[in-house]
Amino acid sequence: MPSPPTPRDHTAVSQAQLHRRRRRRATAIGLGLLVIVLAVGALTAGSSGSWDPAGLKAAATAAIPEAQLQRQAATAKRAADAARRERSRENAAVSTAIRTAPYVSAAGAETKRVALTFDDGPSPYTRGILDTLARFGAHATFFNLGYLVTPTTAATIRRVVAEGHVIGDHSWDHTDFTKLPRAQVRAQLVRTNATLSATGAPPPRLFRPPYGAFNPSLLAQIRKAKMLTILWSIDTADYSATDPAEMAQQVLSDIKPGSIILMHDGGGNRTTTSNALPLILKGLKERGYEAVTVPQLLVTNPPSSSQQSATPTPAP
Ligand code: NI
């Protein structure tokens, strides 16, 4: 038979009930206060006529300890300094090559780095090519034609630069420079470089002659303009290729440290080039190669002063 509750038990039950009641009361008061605070807040925001996210953000920023802000600023400054030093190393490597080599068709073999180059753009294919390069963390050099710069393609050129690629000069209108008087060559260089830099790109220091056509007098003129003539050691012949897998296979079988690879992002239908690019980049990665810009390649793989002549290309 259960024994009746003792007075002590009775007291314990009462106290527990009392606690529950107090908790309920406290919760109710808390909720009430919250409602009042929210209502006053809404009224204040309403009466001042504006919701102030900037002020809140400033308050949040002010809450970040000073030491943390200083660390963030120092990290950003170190990154900017490192990028500036790298740009200046690249500029120095280009200047050295201008002094020591008549032109560059291949860089040295010091590291497993190669340079992919795209001619005859900017074009509607350029953006897709940039997407693929970004996906593989690869960088490239784009030899652009001045007359193709429009407000739309200028945005593409800005994206090329912002994503760490390099813009080079491929003439104003793809005229064979060996058939032009010197004054006209000069006019083409000045106009093209001014147009390309007006987009926000650094003034081009690399020049690729249309059709790969050059002679000693043209080389001397390019050098006098403080520009470096860049040819290639691997021609993908992408202007006539129809099978991306075959094109990629050909490039990968010819690849060597310091290779400069000729491709096209403009001048025609570049579907095969666009589809071959991921296969080429995947193959390069598997073989331990890094795809970099021409100036980056010249820093680590200085070109020899005796350069092999590249085969001229047919008209795009
Ligand atoms: Ni071309």
Q: What is the pLDDT of residues 65-93, one digit of tens each?
A: 888 999 999 999 999 999 999 999 999 99
Q: What is the pLDDT of residue 312?
A: 53
| Arithmetic mean of pLDDT, 51-66 | 70
C-alpha 152 – ligand 1 centre gap (Å): 21
- How far is ligand 1, taken at its centre, from the CA of residue 26, in Å? 80
Q: How is 92-146 classified by DSSP, letter by letter?
A: HHHHHHHHH-S-BSS--SSSSEEEEEEEEE--TTHHHHHHHHHHTT--EEEEE-G
Surrounding residues of ion ligand 1, Cβ less than 5 A: 119-120
The number of angstroms, rounded, from the C-alpha of 101 to the middle of its chain's C-alpha atoms is 29
Comparison of pLDDT for 122 and 316, the residue scoring more: 122
Model confidence at 2, pLDDT cuts 50, 70, 90, reads: very low
Ligand 1 mean position to 200 CA, how many Å?
A: 23
Q: CB of 133 within 8 A of CB of 139?
A: yes
Q: Considering the entire predicted model, what is its pTM?
A: 0.77
When mean pLDDT is compared across 24-28, 151-155, 161-165, 303-307, the lowest value belongs to 24-28
Output the pLDDT for position 45: 43
Contact between 114 and 291 under an 8 Å Cβ cutoff? The reply is: yes
Q: Check 19, 119, 174, 176 and give the catalytic one.
A: 119
Residue 111 scores a pLDDT above 50: yes
Which tokens hold the place of 269? 């239908």
- Measured in degrees and rounded to the nearest 5, phi and psi for residue 197 equal -75, -25
The CA 313 to ligand 1 mean position distance, Å, reads 8
Asked whether the beta carbons of 271 and 239 are under 8 A apart, the reply is: no
Cα 174 to averaged position of ligand 1 atoms, centre (Å): 6
C-alpha of residue 119 to centroid of ligand 1, in Å: 5
Residue 15 is predicted with a pLDDT of 56
What's the pLDDT tens digit per position in 159-209? 999 999 999 999 999 999 999 999 999 999 999 999 999 999 999 999 999
* For residue 290, pLDDT beyond 60: yes
Is 52 among the catalytic positions? Answer: no
Catalytic residue chosen out of the listed positions 139, 174, 264, 265: 264
- Known active-site residue 131: no
Query: Helices H, strands E: what count in the chain?
Result: 10, 8
| Angular region, 120: left φ>0, alpha ψ -120 to 50, beta rest | left
Mean pLDDT along residues 308-312:
61
Judge contact between 105 and 308, C-beta under 8 A. yes
